[in-house]
């Protein structure tokens, strides 16, 4: 039952999260809302989902606030302040009281955003008895609920974000980043066997940790099983192979076969009994081993039989190098295929068993190879691979094995949004190292030592080199994404800098000079841009001359001398960026092709379209110009490289700089070989200048339009040589080493291609950013020229927003955005999922974030090499660093990561992964300690025999100098802290008062529920164990006041004459019975759905419940009957504790249900108003987590239906009877 409740709560938390997402989305898409509220998240409201974690944490204090507002004297304040009945009240964490009208902002075409405008009324209530004390108590709870306690069933966005410890966004981009986190944060549930390594990678203090001795024992048992004739997995697998060759021959999934192999192993080994006995586990025969442990142990035994040195932090399995250098630029699926082939050939595994073993191996050692949804463009050893692996390893640390059920969009969406959650961002840092080091090893940036280890200097160099590589890529993206120079903006800036008070839009007229002004008025800025301001021919119509108002105005720096250098700088920047793109493209070539680029003679050819010129008459009579095919438009988005290398062999490549793509094209060799002459060894290679090609195996459109080149396309085109690189001579430059990633040769080739074939020429940039004034255009007709440039450089201009606007200022940036976005999507990031770019206005900004986030900060590297982290020993062992070796880390780093895990559980859904229930890794010593009373447990764990009381244990845990030892499991610390805090709180006066009202069991369950919803801080910025006990005392005081109020109010209800107004008021039939039912039970059902304060249940279900209990005569004052009716009406809410806990005897609110039980004993079933008494009690004591109103309405209806009548109660009477809402 508990598991079902957990899933139920998770669903409600998802609903709450979706409510936040919807509110944020509507807000940022409404200019009116953004303008009015200006990112003030403590004013923006969202619906509160009853039963969610937040609502359960907030509920008790919200009810207490509602009760406080019913105190004597406050009604006069409401009347004086004209506070309406539907007002919302708020208390902040400083204890100040506010009210607000419910407000909406938006327009008719979009969903409105609800918000509050708090008005402080603290001074008004200062003199009211008990108000100050209660506000102070509510403030204490507000600090645990995001800073506010509110009424009205809504929450504040800022409040919810702080409650979840999420970053408060400061603007649109950060808000979109937060949206990505909320959308993608929910991770899949853990698979049944997680990552298959729960025993192989057990914590150091686990009783099931397989040390060297345990592994030897497992090996001996395995030897007895197999007799050394075959592997253990082959022995068990023979049964599976027989099943697969049975007569039905049904195809089954790999997951099914994996489970069948595990089931067969459990059956064949008699539930691993010999292994467990030999290891000395579960010596008490009365305690059977959990099935999960048996399965994980047998998986471990089968893998250890294949590789006795097996280790999750290793890079090798049974002689197979998972990160071999020859895997560079392979797709991940190809590496898995090679592993399976190795298992078949080297270990003689059957072809049907090899994929199953590979799944087990990779689940722990390299889960990136079993991720099924990498894009087809993904390649090992690229930044895309680094980013993907960093995120995948982070997710695996939260919920082992869950990435097998994730899509690529989900994975990348989760990874790119981590900055919105500081705890997640901090946790990701250690997981960044492994993929970067693997990248460096594969690309030859670093090498392993002779003993197969990677030393500290190499790791530091790898991180530095990756940072340099990505910095260069980021610089290229920045340059290509930067806006075009804007001549008008440059002129405006210069004018405002020199003459701040001069109005650039002031209109002048021509007073002198030739040409005449014709009365035309021209702005100061337009005259400055047209180089006419200095002539003094233009001035004001009347009054003081502008040249007197602004002396030296005519001596402003000429605009052309501002604009031309800006154009030159811009061109240099994008040419340099293009050269960097070419280097990146060349670095992606297979190592087999590197010699041709590095040491060959290279001819560089542009591609030109063939234009047909028809026959036409010439200027000379009788002479015609013959028809001809001539070189036409040059493809500015690609070039062809022709390389001559050893034995004068030719290699051809297609290079697309803006797509960062360089690919070999062997089919071109026959076409280009005739263009090459000379001998490679004689250093006299020459390349012909041009040639017309028919049916050339290239896609001309890719060169002309910056689209992906298609295979199997043939084109007619002209080749024109634009440059060549001769065969390099002399020794290599020691200061510029050649690697797969960079070399002097790649740099030279990149510069040459970028200069000879830029995607934008300097003259085009000059024209696009000219932004001529109306007067300049009147003098020089340039519109047609501009359109020619547009058509030439952007043949796919339909994708550019703004090109049809006719405004050059919009057109220029739009053109660039179109070029860059189309290119950046493939900047080594393969097919970046479209749904991920929610926080980026352009793909370039998203790529920038991903690249920048993948770098490893120097501080991260230094912290990992701290001896406390355990990393130096791990490195000496030849293993990987962090990604797959978390369990190997020592106290400092492991504790930091463990703390981060706790907060992530709610947002990511990692709370669904709790294998401790199946495999309890708590050591036997810890189990013994946790069986002791709290004081004895504290003495043993804290190693302090001077502790005499539980209060002293709490004080010790709260000391600012106390540090949690890393060798003690989180489970044990939580056990001690929770018990110590609870027992200390029980000794308070406030706890005694509450216990006298509701009893010890209800008090205990209330406390446990609160602790579950608000975990006790373990010496962090949010408080200490001591401060938590003080908060519990505040909670008990609030609950006591609430209990006394509820008791008093309901006792007063019993004394009232409910046959008089307003209690005798009846709801008009038309307001709830729209279908005109005449049957009393149907009328009651319609009232419950349409007329009372409760809603949400289906008609047939409610009708069935009413008729069942009308006829069965079960006692309506029996708490069990009330619980049963509630369960049938609100099945999803059963057992949920509104104050944040688990299923309990008291339904949902320990305080409320305990009081309800007591009050039911005083109800007289024969009283003429028993129906109203019962309704008032059930809804007034709020005993259930949700559905109090529905249950109360049903009981009221049943009571009346048993007397063959039904009187519909109006909502205002319902509110008066409950005394709270």
| pLDDT at position 979 over 80 | yes
Query: What residues have CB less than 8 Å from 520, skipping those under 6 apart?
Result: 509, 510, 775
3-state class (DSSP) for residue 1061: coil
DSSP string for 424-440: HHHHHHHHTHHHHHHHH
- pLDDT for 852 equals 67
Per-residue pLDDT band at 55 (split at 50, 70, 90): confident
The predicted model gives 663-690 an average pLDDT of: 94
| pLDDT at position 1147 over 50 | no
3-state class (DSSP) for residue 1064: coil
Written as six digits, the tokens of 193 are 């066997």
Phi, psi of 344 (to 5 degrees): -75, -45
**Burial tier of 292 (Cβ tally within 10 Å: 0-12, 13-18, 19+):** middle
- Tell me 761's DSSP state: -
Q: CA-CA distance, 1214 to 1221, in Å (whole number)? A: 9
- pLDDT for 129 equals 86
| pLDDT at position 701 over 60 | yes
Lowest mean pLDDT of 89-98, 280-289, 407-416, 1177-1186, name the range: 280-289
Q: Are 467 and 853 in contact (CB under 8 A)?
A: no
Per-residue pLDDT band at 796 (split at 50, 70, 90): very low
**Strand 154-156 relative to strand 45-47, pairing:** antiparallel
- 687: β partners: 676
Give the Cβ contact number of residue 677 at 10 Å: 12
Q: Are 714 and 703 in contact (CB under 8 A)?
A: no
The predicted model gives 344-373 an average pLDDT of: 95
- pLDDT for 1150 equals 80
DSSP string for 1119-1132: HHHHHHHHHHH-GG
The predicted model gives 166-173 an average pLDDT of: 88
Buried-exposed string 136-154: b where 16+ CB fall within 10 A, e elsewhere? ebbbbbbbbbbbbbbbbeb
| pLDDT at position 781 over 80 | no
Written as six digits, the tokens of 712 are 């199997």
pLDDT digits (tens, 9 = 90+) for 873-917: 444 444 454 444 444 444 444 454 455 555 555 566 554 444 434
* DSSP H or E run through 694: strand 690-696
The predicted model gives 531-554 an average pLDDT of: 92
741: left (phi over 0), alpha (psi -120 to 50) or beta: alpha
Cα torsion angle, 968, 969, 970, 975, sign = negative
The predicted model gives 957-969 an average pLDDT of: 78
Phi, psi of 366 (to 5 degrees): -155, 70
Q: Are 583 and 468 in contact (CB under 8 A)?
A: no
Q: Are 9 and 51 in contact (CB under 8 A)?
A: yes
pLDDT digits (tens, 9 = 90+) for 1180-1191: 888 887 788 899
- pLDDT for 805 equals 40
- For the chain, domains (ranges, CATH) are 2-184 (no CATH), 187-370 (no CATH), 500-558 (no CATH), 600-743 (no CATH), 911-1031 (1.10.3290.10), 1043-1218 (1.10.3290.10)
- Tell me 1143's DSSP state: -
Q: Are 1174 and 1196 in contact (CB under 8 A)?
A: yes
| pLDDT at position 672 over 60 | yes
Give the Cβ contact number of residue 898 at 10 Å: 16
- pLDDT for 589 equals 87
DSSP string for 168-213: ---SHHHHHHHHHHHHH-PPPPPPTTTTS-TTTT--TT-TT---HH
- Please report where in the chains the tokens 């192989």 appear, as a residue: 200
3-state class (DSSP) for residue 309: coil
Q: Are 998 and 1154 in contact (CB under 8 A)?
A: yes
Per-residue pLDDT band at 234 (split at 50, 70, 90): very high
Q: CA-CA distance, 926 to 940, in Å (whole number)? A: 10
Q: CA-CA distance, 457 to 1095, in Å (whole number)? A: 67
| pLDDT at position 420 over 90 | no
Per-residue pLDDT band at 971 (split at 50, 70, 90): confident
pLDDT digits (tens, 9 = 90+) for 563-586: 999 999 999 999 999 999 999 899
The predicted model gives 229-243 an average pLDDT of: 91
Query: What residues have CB less than 8 Å from 670, skipping those under 6 apart?
Result: none
Q: Are 379 and 330 in contact (CB under 8 A)?
A: yes
- pLDDT for 848 equals 62
Q: CA-CA distance, 111 to 634, in Å (whole number)? A: 50
Per-residue pLDDT band at 603 (split at 50, 70, 90): very high
pTM value? 0.76
The predicted model gives 1002-1025 an average pLDDT of: 80
Per-residue pLDDT band at 215 (split at 50, 70, 90): very high
Helix residue ranges per DSSP H, 879-999: 891-908, 924-930, 934-942, 950-958, 970-986, 989-998
| pLDDT at position 339 over 90 | yes
* Nearest Cα to Cα of residue 315 among 866, 875, 864: 875
Q: What is the mean pLDDT of the chain?
A: 83
The predicted model gives 524-539 an average pLDDT of: 92
| pLDDT at position 272 over 80 | yes
Distance of CA 99 to the CA centre of its chain: 35
Give the Cβ contact number of residue 545 at 10 Å: 12
Q: CA-CA distance, 510 to 524, in Å (whole number)? A: 12
* DSSP H or E run through 1212: helix 1211-1218
pLDDT digits (tens, 9 = 90+) for 106-157: 887 788 999 999 999 999 999 898 899 999 999 999 998 999 999 988 999 9
% of the chain with per-residue pLDDT over 70: 82
Per-residue pLDDT band at 802 (split at 50, 70, 90): very low
First to last CA, the chain: 32
Lowest mean pLDDT of 428-442, 821-835, 988-1002, name the range: 821-835
The predicted model gives 324-352 an average pLDDT of: 95
pLDDT digits (tens, 9 = 90+) for 829-864: 444 455 554 444 444 555 566 666 676 655 555 455
Written as six digits, the tokens of 411 are 């994975």
Written as six digits, the tokens of 194 are 């997680």
Q: CA-CA distance, 40 to 168, in Å (whole number)? A: 10
* DSSP H or E run through 634: strand 628-644
pLDDT digits (tens, 9 = 90+) for 459-468: 889 989 998 8
- pLDDT for 319 equals 94
- Tell me 112's DSSP state: P
- Please report where in the chains the tokens 């068993």 appear, as a residue: 353
- 608: β partners: 634, 718
Preceding amide of 838 cis, omega within 30: no
Query: What residues have CB less than 8 Å from 966, skipping those under 6 apart?
Result: 890, 891, 892, 894, 895
Per-residue pLDDT band at 1106 (split at 50, 70, 90): very high
- pLDDT for 776 equals 64
The predicted model gives 1043-1054 an average pLDDT of: 91
| pLDDT at position 599 over 50 | yes
Q: Where are the beta strands (DSSP E) in 516-627?
A: 522-523, 538-539, 601-613, 616-617, 624-625
């Amino acid at each position: 039952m508990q598991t079902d409740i957990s899933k139920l709560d998770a669903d409600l938390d998802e609903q709450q999260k979706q409510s936040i997402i919807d509110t944020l989305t509507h807000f940022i898409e409404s200019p009116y809302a953004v303008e009015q509220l200006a990112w003030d998240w403590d004013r923006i409201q969202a619906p509160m989902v009853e039963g969610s974690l937040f609502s359960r944490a907030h509920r008790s204090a919200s009810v207490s606030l509602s009760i406080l507002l019913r105190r004597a004297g406050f009604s006069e304040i409401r009347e004086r302040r004209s506070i309406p009945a539907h007002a919302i009240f708020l208390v902040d964490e400083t204890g100040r009281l506010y009210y607000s009208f419910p407000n909406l902002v938006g327009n008719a075409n979009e969903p409105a955003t609800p918000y509050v405008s708090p008005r402080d009324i603290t001074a008004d209530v200062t003199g009211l008895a008990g108000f100050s004390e209660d506000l102070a108590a509510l403030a204490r709870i507000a600090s645990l609920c995001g800073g506010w306690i509110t009424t009205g069933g809504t929450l504040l966005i800022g409040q919810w974000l702080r409650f979840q410890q999420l970053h408060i966004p400061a603007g649109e981009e950060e808000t979109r980043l937060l949206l990505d986190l909320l959308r993608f944060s929910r991770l899949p549930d853990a698979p049944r066997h997680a990552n298959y390594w729960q025993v192989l990678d057990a914590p150091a203090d686990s009783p099931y940790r397989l040390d060297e001795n345990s592994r030897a024992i497992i090996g001996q048992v395995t030897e007895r099983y197999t007799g050394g004739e075959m592997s253990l997995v082959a022995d068990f697998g023979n049964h599976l192979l027989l099943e697969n060759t049975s007569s039905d021959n049904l195809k089954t999934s790999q997951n099914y076969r994996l489970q069948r192999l595990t089931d067969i192993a459990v059956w064949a080994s008699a539930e691993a009994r010999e292994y467990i006995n030999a290891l000395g586990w579960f010596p008490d025969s009365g305690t059977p081993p959990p099935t999960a442990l048996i399965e994980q142990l047998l998986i471990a035994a089968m893998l250890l039989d294949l590789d006795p040195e097996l280790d999750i932090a290793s890079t090798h399995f049974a002689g197979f190098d998972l990160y071999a250098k020859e895997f560079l630029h392979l797709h991940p699926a190809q590496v898995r295929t090679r592993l399976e082939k190795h298992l078949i050939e080297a270990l003689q595994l059957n072809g049907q068993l090899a994929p199953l073993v590979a799944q087990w191996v990779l689940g722990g050692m390299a889960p990136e190879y079993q991720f099924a949804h990498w894009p087809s463009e993904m390649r090992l050893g690229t930044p895309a691979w680094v980013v993907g692996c960093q995120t995948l390893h982070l997710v695996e640390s939260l919920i082992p094995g869950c990435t097998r059920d994730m899509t690529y969009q989900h994975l990348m969406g989760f990874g790119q949004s981590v900055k919105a959650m500081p705890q997640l961002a901090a946790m990701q840092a250690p997981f960044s190292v492994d993929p970067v080091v693997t990248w460096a090893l594969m690309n030859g940036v670093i090498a392993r030592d002779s003993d197969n280890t990677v030393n500290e200097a190499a790791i530091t160099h790898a991180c530095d080199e990756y940072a340099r590589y990505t910095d260069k890529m980021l610089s290229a993206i920045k340059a290509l994404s930067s806006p075009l120079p804007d001549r008008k903006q440059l002129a405006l800036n210069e004018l405002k800098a020199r003459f701040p008070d001069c109005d650039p839009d002031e209109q002048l007229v021509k007073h002198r000079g030739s040409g005449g002004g014709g009365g035309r008025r021209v702005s100061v800025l337009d005259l400055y841009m047209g180089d006419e301001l200095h002539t003094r021919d233009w001035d004001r119509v009347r009054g003081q001359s502008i040249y007197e108002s602004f002396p030296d105005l005519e001596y402003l720096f000429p605009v052309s001398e501002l604009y031309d250098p800006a154009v030159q700088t811009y061109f240099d920047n994008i040419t340099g960026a293009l050269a960097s793109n070419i280097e990146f493209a060349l670095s992606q070539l297979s190592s087999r092709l590197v010699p041709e680029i590095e040491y060959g003679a290279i001819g560089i050819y542009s591609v030109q379209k063939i234009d047909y010129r028809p026959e036409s008459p010439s200027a000379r009579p009788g002479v015609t110009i013959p028809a001809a095919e001539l070189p036409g438009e040059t493809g500015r988005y690609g070039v062809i490289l022709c390389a001559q290398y050893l034995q004068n062999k030719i290699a051809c490549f297609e290079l697309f700089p803006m797509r960062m793509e360089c690919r070999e094209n062997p089919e071109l060799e026959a076409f280009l070989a005739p263009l090459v002459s000379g001998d490679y060894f004689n250093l006299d290679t020459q390349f012909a200048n041009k040639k017309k090609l028919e049916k050339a195996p290239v896609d001309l459109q890719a060169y002309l339009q910056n689209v992906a080149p298609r295979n199997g396309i043939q084109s007619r085109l002209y080749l024109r040589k634009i440059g060549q690189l001769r065969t390099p001579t002399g020794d290599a430059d020691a200061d510029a080493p050649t690697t797969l990633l960079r070399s002097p040769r790649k740099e030279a080739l990149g510069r040459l291609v970028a200069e000879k074939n830029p995607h934008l020429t300097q003259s085009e940039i000059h024209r696009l950013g000219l932004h001529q004034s109306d007067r300049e255009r009147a003098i020089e007709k340039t519109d047609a020229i501009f359109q020619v440039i547009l058509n030439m450089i952007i043949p796919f201009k339909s994708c550019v927003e703004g090109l049809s606007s006719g405004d050059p200022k919009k057109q220029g940036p739009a053109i660039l955005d179109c070029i860059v976005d189309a290119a950046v999507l493939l900047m080594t990031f393969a097919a970046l999922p479209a749904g991920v770019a929610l926080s980026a206005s352009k793909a370039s900004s998203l790529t920038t974030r991903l690249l920048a986030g993948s770098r490893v900060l120097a501080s991260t590297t230094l912290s990992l090499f701290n001896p406390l982290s355990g990393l130096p020993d791990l490195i000496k062992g030849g293993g990987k660093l962090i990604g797959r070796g978390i369990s190997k880390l020592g106290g400092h780093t492991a504790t930091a990561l463990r703390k981060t895990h706790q907060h992530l559980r709610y947002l990511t859904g990692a709370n669904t992964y709790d294998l401790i229930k199946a495999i309890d890794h708590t050591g036997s010593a810890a189990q013994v300690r946790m069986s002791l009373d709290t004081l004895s447990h504290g003495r043993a764990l804290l190693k302090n025999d001077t502790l005499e009381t539980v209060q002293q244990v709490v004080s010790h845990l709260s000391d600012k100098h106390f540090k949690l030892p890393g060798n003690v499991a989180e489970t044990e610390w939580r056990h001690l802290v929770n018990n110590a805090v609870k027992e200390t709180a029980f000794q308070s006066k406030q706890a005694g008062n509450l216990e006298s009202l509701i009893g010890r069991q209800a008090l205990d369950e209330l406390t446990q529920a609160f602790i579950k919803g608000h975990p006790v801080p373990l010496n962090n910025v949010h408080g200490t164990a001591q401060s938590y006990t003080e908060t519990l005392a505040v909670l008990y005081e609030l609950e006591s006041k609430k209990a006394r109020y509820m008791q008093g109010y309901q006792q007063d209800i019993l004394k009232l004459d409910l046959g008089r107004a307003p209690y005798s008021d009846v709801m008009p039939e038309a307001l709830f019975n729209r279908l005109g039912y005449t049957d009393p039970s149907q009328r009651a059902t319609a009232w419950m759905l349409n007329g009372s304060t409760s809603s949400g249940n289906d008609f047939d279900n409610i009708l069935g419940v009413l008729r069942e209990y009308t006829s069965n005569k079960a006692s309506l004052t029996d708490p069990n009957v009330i619980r049963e009716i509630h369960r049938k009406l609100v099945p999803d809410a059963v057992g949920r504790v509104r104050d944040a806990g688990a299923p309990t005897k008291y339904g949902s609110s320990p305080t409320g249900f305990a009081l309800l039980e007591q009050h039911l004993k005083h109800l007289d079933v024969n009283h003429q108003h028993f129906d109203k008494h019962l309704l008032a009690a059930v809804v007034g004591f709020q005993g259930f987590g949700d559905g109090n109103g529905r249950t109360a309405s049903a009981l009221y209806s049943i009571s009346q239906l048993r007397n063959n009548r039904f009187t519909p109660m109006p909502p205002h009477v319902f509110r008066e009877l409950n005394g709270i809402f």
